[in-house]
Amino acid sequence: AVERVQWLKALFPGGVPALWCPPVTHYDRDGAIDGARIAAHLRHLSPYVKGFLIPGSTGDGWELSEAEFRQLLEIALDLTQELDLHLLIGILKSDAAAALKSLRETVSWIESRAGQGKGQSLSRPAGPAPVAFAASALGKARVCGFAVCAPRGKEISQEEMSARLASILDSRK
């Protein structure tokens, strides 16, 4: 419980946002992600909403290609500091192994963004320090967590579902 309180204070120095929103993904006439409209939408919502789940699980997030997923995150991450937002990243994979792979790739990508454009060059340390490095990079990006989806299928028991989700959580150790 003490560790959780410390994490909450570190991630949300101004308090946990009361409202979290999975915003709409806007597209242009050609079906491409419309970054300008997404940015305008987030700017419009930002005085009232400080936490966003991107991509959200109730819309087209399941249909995004990996490139579109990255593009959407790039837009959101570029605005988090400017608009004082917090970001929860949706890892929309119903297979635990695919979710874990996507989560790791996303963390690595966010780490690679850390320090870019500021004349800094950050490299991932060896040993136990990578967890702290990842936490630092995520914190700088104002990413406060990841939402993973439960495995799906009527043949999956509660025990199997729990074990598969635990495999994701246990991978951080």
Residue 71 belongs to a domain with what CATH number? 3.20.20.70
What are the pLDDT digits (tens) for 22-52?
999 999 999 999 999 999 999 999 999 999 9
pTM above 0.85, yes or no: no
Q: What is the mean pLDDT of residues 146-173?
A: 84
Give per-residue pLDDT as tens, 5-20: 877 777 777 778 888 8
Mean pLDDT, to the nearest integer, of 126-136?
A: 63
Is 50 exceeded by the pLDDT of residue 117? Answer: no
Q: What is the CA 75 to chain-centroid distance, rounded?
A: 12
The string over 51-89, giving b where at least 16 C-beta atoms fall within 10 Å of a residue's C-beta and e elsewhere, is bbbbbbeeeebeebeeebbebbbebbbebbeebebbbbb
pLDDT at 125 over 70: no
Total number of domains constituting the chain: 1
Taking only Cα atoms into account, the Rg of the chain, rounded to an integer number of angstroms, comes to 17
pLDDT at residue 136 in the model: 82
**Full residue range of the structural domain in which residue 120 is found:** 2-170
Half-sphere exposure at residue 125, Cβ-oriented, CA atoms within 13 angstroms:
11
Helix (H) or strand (E) holding 22: none
Label residue 78 by pLDDT band (50, 70, 90).
very high
Residue count of the chain: 173
Q: What is the DSSP letter of 84?
A: T
pLDDT given for residue 173 in this prediction: 53
With 80 as the cut, is the pLDDT of residue 119 above it? no
* Mean per-residue pLDDT of the chain: 85
| CA neighbor of 17 nearest in space, from 88, 110, 103 | 88
Q: Write out pLDDT tens, residues 83-108.
A: 999 999 999 998 889 999 999 999 99
Alpha carbon separation from 149 to 27, 87, 107, 121, 123 (Å, rounded) = 25, 17, 17, 34, 30
